Amino acid sequence: MALLAARDDARAVEPEELPLWEIVIVGGGGYLPDYPAADENSFQGIALPYAIYRGPVFRLGDRGAARGILTDSQTIEIDLGADASFPVDSDGNEAREGMADLDYLLELGPRITWRILPRSHRDDLYLALATRAVISSDFRNWRYQGISVAPSLTYWRNRLFDRDLNATLWIEPVFGFDGLNDYFYEVRPADARPGRPAFDANDGYLGTEISLGLSYGLTERVRLFGGVQIGYWNHSANDQSPLHRDDLTVGVGGGLRWSIFTSDQRVAR
């Protein structure tokens, strides 16, 4: 459900000291599945600015929407995480033709992360659990769509070939509750047609996403990133929905992160 190209791109190989704050522009996109278990992909893209602040306790935009709100220990962090998904024009998707479009999905909620490897280690290994409220929007109307619960395991391999080149492997099962799965898989009687019977979606397991990414620092302020995301949707709570079209999906994406303004003051990573 993530914006593949934008996920955690800011977690580059970091020097021992970083700017206290940065103003960043990130732009990217890719060829992505229209929705979980869709059998069609679309080209999608986005560019947006955001801020990073690295305070002694509270951190903003640095591996999370807001980090260290409750604790920032050597091994456990509690943060406010965010995620998002692209919209879908239903008339451009055969399975959803004639149905309402899928809007942007914005997710926000708490996440607890356990840092398995010590901070002194060159690589990083994290086990996390995120619970997020999901809002759909066309930027005119905003609607609550449910709750996503997602445990994840992330491994960062830093400085490949002794260069500013990182690799990451990320695995995340996703569960939808309070109507979230309805947004993707429910077919109301008014939308039923031959080959697309009415379907009442169930809460529960949505599927598992596996991502492999690379990022490379062109300069201290400019970084390229890209990756591939595999979705495995078999045995989900709604694999009998007529909108569940493919048990295996693949998306590819990439982009660029540019730090346009930084503070002179530096802080430890």
Residue 115 DSSP code:
E
State the pTM of this model. 0.87
3-class state of residue 194 by DSSP = coil
Domain borders along the chain are 4-268
Average pLDDT over residues 173-200: 97
Torsion angle of C-alpha atoms 201, 232, 249, 141, degrees rounded to 10: 40
Q: Which amino acid, one-letter code, is at 39?
A: D
Tokens of 239: 């694999």
Tokens of 155: 């491994």
Q: Which pairing describes strands 248-262 and 222-232: parallel, antiparallel, or unpaired?
A: antiparallel
Q: How large is the C-alpha radius of gyration of the chain?
A: 19
Please give the pLDDT value at position 64.
56
Residue 171 pLDDT more than 50?
yes
Tell me how far apart the alpha carbons of residues 124 and 108 are, in angstroms, rounded to a whole number. Answer: 24
The model's pLDDT over 65-121, given as tens digits with 9 standing for 90+, comes to 555 555 555 688 888 888 889 999 999 999 999 999 999 999 999 999 998 987 677
Residue 146 pLDDT more than 90?
yes
What's domain 4-268's architecture? Beta Barrel (2.40)
Chain centroid offset of residue 51 CA: 18
Query: Among 220, 205, 229, which Cα is nearest to 260's?
Result: 220
Residue 163 pLDDT more than 90?
no
Which residues, at least 6 apart from 111, have a Cβ–Cβ distance to it below 8 Å? Answer: 64, 78, 79, 80, 81, 128, 129, 130, 131
